[in-house]
Amino acid sequence: MRSLEHPEGTKLPALERNILKFRAFEMMLSLFYAEDLKRFLTSTVEVSDRFRAKKRFKPGTKFNYAMAADFFLKGGHLSKAERDELKTLIDFRNDIAHELHTLTFDVGRSKFIRKLLQYQIETPKYDYGKLKRLKWYRRVLPDRFGRHFGLVLSSDCLFFEAAEKTYEAELNVLAKKINRQIAARKIRNERIAKETTLGELAGLEPDDPAHFRDNGTLSERGIEVCYRLFDAGKTPLAVAYMMHVSKRTTLARHKEWKKLGGAKRPTVELPPTHPRQKRKRRRQV
């Protein structure tokens, strides 16, 4: 389980928190736009048929967006690719409503949750391009259909206008923050990657399970390996990543290492492998 835990804990940094906020605002807009598109498709078919002398559909027919989209497809007002894309956009609305957890889990730090959801079939993933496509259809379809069909005026957009402007403004602010934070994260990740390069220290095998007791705490050997990494100039954060332990653990060990003299501490022989862990490793071979 250690390999599934993040060295810096489960609390999300500012970048991840802002990404979740960004998605939340986008999903609110997507919910409204998808529902608005569904109403637009069905109402256009209904009102156009209402005023025809020769009805296309039986009186009282209850339309859904799929029936309406198929109608426009057969009439040549939608391409098959557009009909299929509309379905994916409406499905995205359904994912937001019913599978919200699968659209946010990837931002979290829990590797366990990520592995758990890998075994679910067809787990929906968040797609930042969906909102842009929803906006495109809401802009293009009224102009296209208005040349051939009667359109229904709706006040829903007026009711949502204040919220829409607020969400769009927040998205613009968050996008700038996120871009800055991603650039800073890239630099930080490069630094950590450099710090965690073992080189001549590879023989210490920092992530070896033999460095841990059965209860998950560092064994005497694990503690000494931790100290030797500090001797080599590795930071507590780098050691946490290399040994797959929490930063809190390595910070505590770093204090102990300093008390022992730091890089000038007396030379200590590397303790033997923890017996039980050694037996486990033999069985795995």
Question: For residue 34, what pLDDT is reported?
Answer: 95
Question: For residue 120, what pLDDT is reported?
Answer: 65
Token pair belonging to 129: 């391009």
Torsion of CA 109, 111, 115, 121, to 10 degrees: 10
Cα(96)–Cα(124) distance, integer angstroms: 10
Cα(257)–Cα(16) distance, integer angstroms: 33
Question: For residue 284, what pLDDT is reported?
Answer: 40
Alpha-carbon distances of 7 from 37, 72, 108, 144, 187, rounded to whole Å: 45, 54, 13, 54, 18
Question: For residue 49, what pLDDT is reported?
Answer: 67
Q: Which of 22, 34, 24, 12 is nearest to 156 (CA)?
A: 34
Cα(103)–Cα(144) distance, integer angstroms: 33
Q: Which of 237, 244, 239, 236 is nearest to 212 (CA)?
A: 244
The tens-digit pLDDT sequence of the chain (285 residues) is 455 578 888 789 999 999 999 999 999 999 999 999 999 998 888 877 666 655 566 666 677 888 889 889 998 999 999 999 999 999 999 999 998 888 888 888 777 777 776 666 566 788 999 999 999 999 999 999 888 888 888 888 899 999 999 999 999 999 999 999 999 999 999 999 999 998 888 888 988 888 888 888 888 889 999 999 999 999 999 999 999 898 999 999 999 999 999 988 988 888 876 555 444 444 443
Ordered by start, the domain boundaries in the chain are: 2-192, 199-284
- What's the pTM value of the predicted model, to 2 decimals? 0.81
Alpha-carbon distances of 168 from 31, 40, 174, 205, 246, rounded to whole Å: 14, 22, 10, 50, 38
Half-sphere exposure of residue 196: CA atoms within 13 angstroms, side-chain side:
18
Cα(142)–Cα(169) distance, integer angstroms: 25
